[in-house]
Amino acid sequence: MRVHVADHPLITHKLTVLRDERTPSAVFRQLTEELVTLLAYEATRGVRVEEVDIRTPVTETRGVRIATPRPIVVPILRAGLGMLEGMVKLIPTAEVGFLGMVRNEETLEPSTYAERLPDDLSDRQCFVLDPMLATGGSLGAAIDFLFARGAQDVTAICLLAAPEGVEAIHQQVGDRDVTLVLGSLDERLNEKGYIVPGLGDAGDRLYGTV
């Protein structure tokens, strides 16, 4: 498993505003979208391309385009939905599938309540979007789900992660091709399974509801 933690002042600046409890939902949503686009630049470094011949106004030349089968972007509802626009802005030709997951706030166990994905993900590169990697239960279940459908590789983009969650994913994925691209690796989880210092409940902060 590869782990890439962003190291860029613009990302840290935007994350600081996102963490601030005074930041209203509208700004939170805007920043989430901007952060995803910045992280997606790193996350798509390994996206498969194929060569293509084109003609510029000056001459013929050879370039590349995103290969088929096209990558699939999978936001984990609800909070991952806030990351979708920022991602598809960068890869507009990607397909989008959805996984709805919620973790039980007592047991911290995730359960899946919605799924809208192709049955066959053979040879597909998958990009999972979830702002928070806390215990790793939700992301781990999503990764298992995608590989069970034949995914070739999975890259997860998370704004914040706890070391406990990263370690749990590491133990779980074995030698499968998984990459984590993180905006920040925070200090720890607290006794309620929240990331510290974190930003609170990402879904509530994005959508202002419970």
Residues noted as catalytic: 103, 107, 201, 204
Interaction of residue 158 with ligand URA, rule CB under 6 A:
no
Only one of the segments 43-51, 55-63, 136-144, 177-185 lies at the binding site for ligand PRP (rule: CB under 6 A); that segment is 136-144
Q: Is residue 150 classed as helix, strand or coil in its secondary structure? A: coil
Interaction of residue 173 with ligand PRP, rule CB under 6 A:
no
User: What is the spatial distance between Cα 150 and Cα 142, in angstroms, rounded to a whole number?
Assistant: 13
183 contact choice in ligand PRP, ligand URA, none (CB below 5 to 8 Å, kind-dependent): none
What's 96-138 look like in SS3?
A: ECEEEEEECCCCCCEEEEEEECCCCCCCCEEEEECCEECCCHH
Q: Which is nearer to ligand URA, 105 or 123 (CB)?
A: 105
For residues 127 and 72, the answer to whether their CB atoms sit within 8 Å is yes
19 Cβ contact list (under 8 Å, min separation 6): 197, 198, 199
157 Cβ contact list (under 8 Å, min separation 6): 36, 39, 40, 43, 83, 87, 127, 128, 129, 130, 181
Q: Of residues 188-207, which lie at the interface with ligand URA (CB under 6 A)?
A: 194-195, 198, 201-203
Taking residues 102 to 141 in sequence order and writing x for each that binds ligand URA by CB under 6 A, - otherwise, the string is: ------------------------------x-x-------
Interaction of residue 98 with ligand URA, rule CB under 6 A:
no
Is 78 annotated as ligand-binding?
A: yes
Could you list the residues known to form a binding site for uracil, using ranges: 195, 200-202
Residues that bind ligand PRP (CB under 6 A): 76, 78-79, 101-103, 108, 110, 130-139, 165, 193, 201-203
